[in-house]
């Protein structure tokens, strides 16, 4: 037996060691991220009593959808509140997303294609807002909103969320436009398109994945936001889901199955969005990593 | 008649003059190559003609219309890009149809013209494919097709062959030439490859540093380069340029290398040329085929030392040191020389070039 043959199994074992280590790590991460979700789901189908039991029931003895029925029943006061919060969240998030995309698309395109005085300065100043933790702006923005008479309106939240979402949307989209060869637009302009037609007919279809990624990003940011929503809105009928769920359940005795069912329902739109659009999202985040 | 006239065209970026006072006329049906090293302003010039960049000064006239302020779409031009710029989300058919749709032609007309162009370029079987499913050569053809489908006054081509591999490039070169002959099209073609320019173009415009150096037929540019830049840029292997000094032997003009201590007598014609030099610095230019190599000293020949020998089959190229410069010589393969061998060179006096050592401009006898 030569030395080489003796060596080979050992080196293979070390590769396997790494591979198994990697798998174990991934499994741990999976448990870490999935377990709370699983627990949320399980709790949401327990009865109130079963949820508080110790030692806990891993699988409920009597699974029930009562919490979901209560939350989604418009006849019931709990259901009325929940559905209203859900609707409020949807309005705020969709408005934020639509406005963010409408502003970010032309802004990002301009940053990517045109040279104008102050371009660099403007581009980096767009990021200024994101250099500070959100809470720092809570009081100044509140004062601003009060001066504008927007406290207790959804408009205040939409405006605020845009200040978070827009800079990132512009950066993300600019990267996308940078990757679309300028020759495509030039070709279109020579082929008979105006600048705007070239943008609309050639560039925009190619940037759809970027726009979708940007939209998901703004939507999730607005959908999950808590602090500003809790500060700017005081009237019960205006609350968004994160604030609504929290108030709603701490006012009564804590109804864990109800809380978990509401949390689960709150996650549904985000998860659905991700599942449907994830391929665009991943593409957007890796775009530009390699030169085509 | 689609004549293209550039009159004192300027393009500046701050103080940098990318295109500096370029004037030239492209006749109808002419194939003109804009050629020069990278950064010489040839692509910028093309983009100015296309209207993709605003001019800083001058006029561009296409088919008797001043187009300075016209959008690219209104200039009646078509352009083929280096990276083809095919619309990636459209099928080949839709790529070809796009320029016609933009001109609001009826669908039946579009259909007919696209199929016609596809037939000419032999891409009919590809019409349903997306650009990414095509090979480089096929993409190139589609790009050409998109240009010719609407019968423009002028075709602009920006290094259309440089993304192809060597074999395909030679093939497409003759196809584009064929395309030019068949359509009698006016073509302005940008390339950094002087061989492409020489082989394809009716006229070539040699540019350097944003300035048009020479604009003439390839044969004339090759035979009479106006300055040292053009002389060294056109032709392969490059023309050898040997900096020497003017002197006289028995009252007749000659060139000398003080460092190597030899003199090269000049013919009467060449003597009249060097008399025009601003100083006594003169650069001798000679193409490889105008230099004869001797293995022994002969009258009128100057000593050189062989540096490398490159047999290519038909011709053996030799590089030798002469007065501190490298000189290219071509030999029949039967002559054997070795590196570091001492050889003697003499020059075909009727075909050598002489340049002013200060201004680098070709010296002309009256």
Per-residue pLDDT reduced to its tens digit, A194-208? 999 999 999 998 888
Looking at the complex, does the CB of residue B55 fall below 8 Å from at least one CB of chain A? no
The Cβ of residue B101 has, within 10 Å, a number of other Cβ atoms equal to: 15
Looking at the complex, does the CB of residue B99 fall below 8 Å from at least one CB of chain A? yes
CB B265 within 8 A of CB B254: yes
| Most confident stretch, A135-139, A251-255, B10-14 | B10-14
Cβ within 8 Å, pair A183-B146: no
Q: Name chain A contacts of B81, Cβ cutoff 8 Å.
A: 183, 186-187
Q: Is the bond preceding residue A55 a cis peptide, omega within 30 degrees?
A: yes
Q: Is the per-residue pLDDT at A288 higher than 50?
A: no
Q: Using pLDDT thresholds of 50, 70 and 90, give the confidence band for residue A210.
A: confident
Taking the CA of residue A110 and the nearest CA in chain B, the distance in Å comes to 17
Q: Is the per-residue pLDDT at A289 higher than 80?
A: no
pTM of the predicted structure, to 2 decimals = 0.80
Query: What's residue A70's pLDDT?
Result: 82
**CA B231, CA B213: separation in Å to the nearest integer?**
11
For A130, the token pair is 């994101």
Q: Is the per-residue pLDDT at B150 higher than 90?
A: no
Q: Is the per-residue pLDDT at A283 higher than 80?
A: no
Q: What angle is formed at CA B316 by the lines to CA B315 and CA B322, rounded to 5 degrees?
A: 130
**CA A105, CA A188: separation in Å to the nearest integer?**
19
Query: What's residue A79's pLDDT?
Result: 84
Q: Using pLDDT thresholds of 50, 70 and 90, give the confidence band for residue A286.
A: low
**CA A131, CA A120: separation in Å to the nearest integer?**
17
Pick among A190, A195, A207, A287 to test the B interface (most B CBs inside 10 A): A190
Percent pLDDT > 90 in chain B is: 71
Q: How far is CA A222 from CA A52, A130, A157, A267, in A?
A: 32, 15, 8, 13
- The DSSP-derived string for B143-210 is HHHHHHTT--SEEEEESTTTTS-HHHHHHHHHHHHHHHHHHT-EEEEEES-HHHHHHH-SEEEEEETT
What does the pLDDT average to over A68-72?
85
What does the pLDDT average to over A78-106?
92
Query: What's residue A1's pLDDT?
Result: 45
- The DSSP-derived string for A45-89 is TS-HHHHH-SSPPSS-SS---HHHHHHT-TTSHHHHHHHHHHHHH
Q: Average pLDDT, whole number, for chain A?
A: 84
Say which range, A45-54, B181-190, B357-366, has the weakest mean pLDDT. A45-54
Sign of the Cα torsion B43, B48, B53, B57 reads positive
Nearest to A189 among B72, B87, B150 (CB): B72
Q: Is the per-residue pLDDT at A225 higher than 80?
A: yes
Strands (E), chain A: none
Per-residue pLDDT reduced to its tens digit, B70-102? 999 999 999 999 888 999 889 999 999 999 999
For B305, the token pair is 């030392």
Q: Is the per-residue pLDDT at B45 higher than 70?
A: yes
Sign of the Cα torsion A37, A40, A44, A50 reads positive
Per-residue pLDDT reduced to its tens digit, B194-208? 999 999 999 999 999
What does the pLDDT average to over B139-156?
90
Q: How far is CA A213 from CA A171, A181, A224, A279, B200, in A?
A: 12, 20, 17, 9, 48
Provide the ipTM. 0.83
Nearest to A190 among B78, B87, B88 (CB): B78
Query: What's residue B318's pLDDT?
Result: 94
Q: Is the per-residue pLDDT at A3 higher than 80?
A: no
Q: Using pLDDT thresholds of 50, 70 and 90, give the confidence band for residue A252.
A: low
């Amino acid at each position: 037996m030569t030395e080489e043959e003796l060596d080979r199994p050992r080196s293979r074992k070390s590769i396997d060691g790494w591979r198994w280590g990697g798998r174990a790590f991934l499994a741990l991460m999976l448990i870490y991220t999935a377990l709370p979700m699983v627990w949320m789901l399980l709790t949401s189908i327990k009865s109130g009593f079963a949820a508080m039991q110790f030692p806990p029931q891993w699988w409920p003895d009597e699974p029930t959808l009562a919490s979901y029925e209560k939350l989604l029943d418009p006849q019931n006061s709990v259901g009325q509140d929940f559905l209203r919060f859900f609707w409020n969240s949807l309005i705020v998030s969709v408005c934020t997303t639509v406005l963010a995309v409408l502003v970010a698309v032309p802004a990002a395109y301009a940053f990517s294609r045109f040279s104008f005085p102050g371009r660099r300065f403007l581009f980096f100043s767009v990021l200024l807002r994101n250099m500070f933790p959100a809470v720092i702006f809570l009081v100044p923005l509140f004062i601003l909103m009060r001066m504008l008479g927007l406290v207790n309106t959804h408009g205040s939240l939409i405006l605020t969320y845009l200040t978070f979402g827009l800079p990132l949307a512009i950066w993300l989209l600019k990267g996308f436009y940078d990757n679309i060869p300028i020759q495509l637009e030039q070709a279109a302009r020579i082929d008979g398109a105006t600048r705007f037609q070239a943008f609309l007919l050639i560039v925009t279809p190619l940037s759809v994945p970027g726009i979708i990624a940007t939209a998901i990003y703004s939507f999730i940011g607005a959908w999950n936001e808590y602090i500003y929503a809790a500060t700017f809105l005081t009237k019960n009928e205006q609350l968004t889901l994160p604030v609504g769920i929290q108030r709603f359940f701490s006012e009564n005795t804590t109804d864990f199955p109800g809380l978990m069912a509401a949390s689960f329902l709150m996650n549904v739109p985000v998860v659905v969005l991700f599942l449907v659009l994830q391929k665009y999202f991943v593409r957007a985040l890796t775009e530009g990593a390699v030169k085509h | 008649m689609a004549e293209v006239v550039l009159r004192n065209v300027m393009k500046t970026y701050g103080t940098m003059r990318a295109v500096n006072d370029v004037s030239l006329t492209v006749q109808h049906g002419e194939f003109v190559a804009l050629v020069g090293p990278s950064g010489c302003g040839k692509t910028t010039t093309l983009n100015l003609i296309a209207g993709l960049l605003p001019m800083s000064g001058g006029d561009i006239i296409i088919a008797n219309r001043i187009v300075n302020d016209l959008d690219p779409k209104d200039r009646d031009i078509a352009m083929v890009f280096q990276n083809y710029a095919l619309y990636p989300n459209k099928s080949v058919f839709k790529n070809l149809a796009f320029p016609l749709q933009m001109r609001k032609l009826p669908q039946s007309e579009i259909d007919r013209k696209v199929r016609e162009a596809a037939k000419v370029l032999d891409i009919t079987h590809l019409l349903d494919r997306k650009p990414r499913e095509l090979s480089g050569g096929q993409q190139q053809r589609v790009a050409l097709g998109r240009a010719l489908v609407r019968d423009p006054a002028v075709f602009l081509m920006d290094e259309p062959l440089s993304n192809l591999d060597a074999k395909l490039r030679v093939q497409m070169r003759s196809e584009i030439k064929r395309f030019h002959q068949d359509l009698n099209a006016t073509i302005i073609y940008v390339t950094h490859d002087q061989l492409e320019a020489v082989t394809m173009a009716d006229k070539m415009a040699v540019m350097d540093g944003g300035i048009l150096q020479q604009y003439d037929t390839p044969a004339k540019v090759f035979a009479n380069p106006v300055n040292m830049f053009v002389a060294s840029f056109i032709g392969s292997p490059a023309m050898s340029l040997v900096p020497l000094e003017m002197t006289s032997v028995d009252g007749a003009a000659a060139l000398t290398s003080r460092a190597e201590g030899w003199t090269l007598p000049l013919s009467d014609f060449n003597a009249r040329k060097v008399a025009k030099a601003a100083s006594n610095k003169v650069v001798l230019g000679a193409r490889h085929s105008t230099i004869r190599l001797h293995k022994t000293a002969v009258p009128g020949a100057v000593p050189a030392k062989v540096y490398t020998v490159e047999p290519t089959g038909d011709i053996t190229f030799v590089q030798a040191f002469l007065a501190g410069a490298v000189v290219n010589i071509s030999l029949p393969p039967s002559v054997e020389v070795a590196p570091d061998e001492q050889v003697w060179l003499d020059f075909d006096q009727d075909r050598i070039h002489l340049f002013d050592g200060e201004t680098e401009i070709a010296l002309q006898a009256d």
